[in-house]
Structure 1
Amino acid sequence: MEGNGERPALTGDPREDALAWFVRLESGDADPADRRAFADWLARDPAHRREYDRLAGVWDDLDRVPDPRQGPRREPRQGPRRITRAPRAAPTRRRFLAYGMAGGAAACAAGLGGTVAMTAWAGDIRTATGERRTATLDDGSVVNLDAGSALAVDFSPAERRVRLIDGRARFVAAPDPGRPFVVACAGGELATSGATLILHRQPESAVAAVEEGTAVLTVGTAPPVQLLAGHCRSYGLGGLGGLGGPGGPGPLMPDGVAAETAWRQGRLVFQGQPLDAVIADLNRYHPARILLWDRPLAELRVDGSVDVTRPDAALNAITRILPVRTLHPVPGLVIIRSA
């Protein structure tokens, strides 16, 4: 049905058939007979129009929103640059397609099985798709920001606070025993007087790791947990894969620090990650937006290592090892659905 001149085969499921018609009509090959058949399909059942309008509405929203994928992709910066505080610009909106944040994230997500997540794309430092950046903060701390990431800096005389809004970052906190360095992310805080930390925000959890030194991880009302050099834990809505209990830190993740720093060598490493978290990471490097169409796919597990310069190869591998297939209905959109 993708540009082959054939009318889409309908299944009788309004959601599935809406997707089939969307692919056909957006392919550029639809003829007047297709459009008449589509109009007849819409008229047969109010659910048909409801499902199609929800899908088309999501795509229209994406067309109206600036996206960091537009424009030429930049190579990772090689040298650090110093960041000083400036008046914060008015926030822009970045909407990326992945599996929904906890609870579905948006009203239109209900019509797509909770597949749309919207993230505020705002911060003192941010990177575009495929871009990595090194920045030096006012206190001398150094931040390595992964692609598609954003953070806000709020230093005061009492503490040095940074909020990771999206993506992943590595922090080399300058020693200051009298003023802790605190990174807030997804309802948790990682605090230190001087250490090398990694925070990684995922769709329904976050990962905290300590490369050097020590830090304290606090999540909600759970008791604080000390992280030593080489320690890595997930936390959030059930922790990574539900291992941490509701909101609390999960168990230590073997080789977690190595996996969370591999992006600095140009690789993404997945260790039993749910597919929604994998897609969220790929969306930060892939020039198209990737959408998980079927809700149950989110919990499929992925192990492997991905070259960040070849995100399409990662998608091909996913379709080989998991019961999924990809659709490319329009330029800039990849839909992953059940095979």
Structure 2
Amino acid sequence: MSNVSKFTSKDDIHEEACLWVSRIDRGLTSEETDTLRDWLNASQSHRRILFDVARVWDDLSVLNELKGMFPLRPQIKGETGKARKVLRQARWSVAAGFLLMAAAAAMMVDSYWLGQNDTGYHLAQRIGTAIGEQKTLTLNDGSVVHMNTNSAIQINFDGERRLIDLIKGEAHFTVAHDASRPFTVTAGINTVTAIGTAFNMQYTNNEAFELVVTEGKVLVQDKQNSVSREEIAEMIQKGNAFGNLKLLTAGEKANVDGELSDLKNLDTDAMEQDLAWQQGMIVFKGEALEDALREIERYTAVDFTIEGEALKQKRVAGYFKVGDISGLLSALKNSFHIEHKRVDAMTIQLSQQQG
């Protein structure tokens, strides 16, 4: 029997503690409660860091739950003021370290710059979301951007242009009408331009993205094209595009990678399913399990492994709540006879139920 134990770094413990706080906040299952007790009993560091993380977010419900399971150490009689100060500094050092780690790992950026140029002003802003986070922004022109998990955009507005770079991830844009300043989003080698409409863009690889038009019309073109804003506005308003410029209208969906492909017309139900992430849901309509889990992994730090090629290609369907891993596992077992085993705190192995 080996007497060698696996060493867990402080960063790993911080990450696991963050996940436990989110799980406690939405409510633990009996199985998760047992797993949490085992994890907390495994190390005093686990307990200390989990309490520190909960304090950082000032989550009273989580702290109360934790205190019920593992009461905080009472203050020692005669403990000096200097000792108390050291303990406070240590706790905040842990908290600050966790926040810095989360910010660096998840690209949670929100930088802002406002300057002057020939058009009167220039607004530059870079905004990101962490894994599992969504964010809604109202821009200075009245447009609204709803950002999905693990996404980033760069905003560049001035008196003549409204430009956004979708750096990674997915976002839905509801564009305030302004024919004199077209609203253009760049992703990969293409741009999508509107003057007052709504559309959704999601990266499918480094250069390609999926485009869904939810309202009005948008113009899709190569970002190297040189078309004046007046021409763009006229094409969108009249519904006439020329050359390699393409117009998509409400209800249309396409993959964009230099050229348009897989152009589809969506009915209302299909549209709602594609945008279900805005209501905190993920919808699968017969995708392979491997592809479905890849989508799930966008919303959580948990990794999945699948035993066997046949199971990887097994088709799954249903509605799943974003971040609800326990609900997902229960559905896979009850509806698709797929068992799971926790390899460690961050890895879940799936296998086909036997018999």
Q: Shorter-chain-normalised TM-score: which range? A: 0.5 to 0.7
Bigger helix share: 2
Instruction: Call closer, same or farther: CA 1:282–1:176 in 2, change over 3 Å.
Output: same
- Please give the TM-score of this superposition, normalised by the length of structure 1: 0.55
Is the CA contact 1:207–1:234 (under 8 Å) kept in the aligned structure 2?
yes
Q: Quote the Cα distance in structure 2 between the aligned partners of 1:146 and 1:252.
A: 23
Match of 1:32 in 2: 2
1:313 is paired with a residue whose SS is helix
- CA distance in 2 between counterparts of 1:276 and 1:235 reads 23
Q: CA deviation at 1:195?
A: 0.8
Deviation of 1:139 after TM superposition, in Å, equals 2.1
User: 2:264 aligned to 246, 252, 262, which one?
Assistant: 252
In the alignment, which of 289, 293, 299 is matched to residue 285 of structure 1? 299
Aligned length: 238
Give the Cα separation in 2 of the matches to 1:259 and 1:293: 29
Q: Does the CA contact (< 8 Å) of 2:108 and 2:127 recur in 1?
A: no
How far did 1:93 drift?
Answer: 4.4
8 A Cα contact 2:16 2:345, kept in partner: no
Identity %: 23
CA distance in 1, matches of 2:210, 2:254: 6
1:214 aligns with 2:217: yes
Structure 2: 5+ residue stretches without partners: 26-102, 111-125, 225-242
Q: Secondary structure at the match of 1:32?
A: coil
Q: TM-score, normalised by structure 2?
A: 0.53
Output one character per residue of 1:247-297: Cα deviation in whole Å (capped at 9) or x when no partner. Answer: 643221534422222222332122344545432432243352345687887
Mean alpha-carbon deviation: is it higher for 168-177 or for 186-195?
Answer: 186-195
Cα distance in 1 for partners of 2:306, 2:164 equals 31
Does 1:233 pair with 2:245?
A: no
> Against the structure 1 CA distance between its residues 218 and 295, is the aligned structure 2 distance closer, same or farther, given a 3 Å change threshold?
farther
Q: 1:248 to 1:304 in 2, by over 3 A?
A: same
CA distance in 1, matches of 2:273, 2:204: 14
Aligned pair partner of 1:163 in 158, 165, 174: 165
Superposed displacement of residue 208, structure 1: 1.1
Shift in Å, 1:142: 0.9
Structure 1 unaligned spans of 5+ = 1-30, 36-55, 76-90, 95-119, 237-245
Distance 1:224 1:165 in 2: 22
Q: Distance in 1 between matches of 2:294 and 2:209?
A: 12
Would the alpha carbon gap of residues 207 and 329 (structure 1) be closer, same or farther in structure 2, given more than 3 Å must change?
Answer: same
Does the 8 A contact of 1:327 with 1:336 survive in 2? yes
Higher alpha-carbon Rg: 2
Cα distance in structure 2, aligned partners of 1:67 and 1:201: 28
Aligned AA (1:218): Q
Equivalent position of 1:193 in the other structure: 195
Q: Per-residue deviation at 1:228?
A: 0.9
What CA distance in whole angstroms lies between the structure 2 residues aligned with 1:286 and 1:210? 27
1:210 and 1:291 map into 2 onto residues whose CA distance is 34
Cα deviations by residue, 1:30-62 (Å, 9 ceiling, x for unpaired)? x32899xxxxxxxxxxxxxxxxxxxx9xx99x9
Structure 2: distance between partners of 1:127 and 1:331: 23
Query: Secondary structure at the residue paired with 1:189?
Result: strand
Task: Give the aligned residue type for 1:288.
Answer: V
8 Å Cα contact 1:271/1:304 also seen in 2: yes
- Seen in structure 2, the aligned counterparts of structure 1 residues 333 and 209 have a Cα distance that, compared at 3 Å, is same
Relative to structure 1, is the Cα distance of residues 302 and 206 closer, same or farther in structure 2, using a 3 angstrom cutoff? farther
- Identify the structure with bigger relative contact order (alpha carbons < 8 Å, sequence gap 6+): 1
Q: Which residue of 1 aligns with 2:237?
A: none
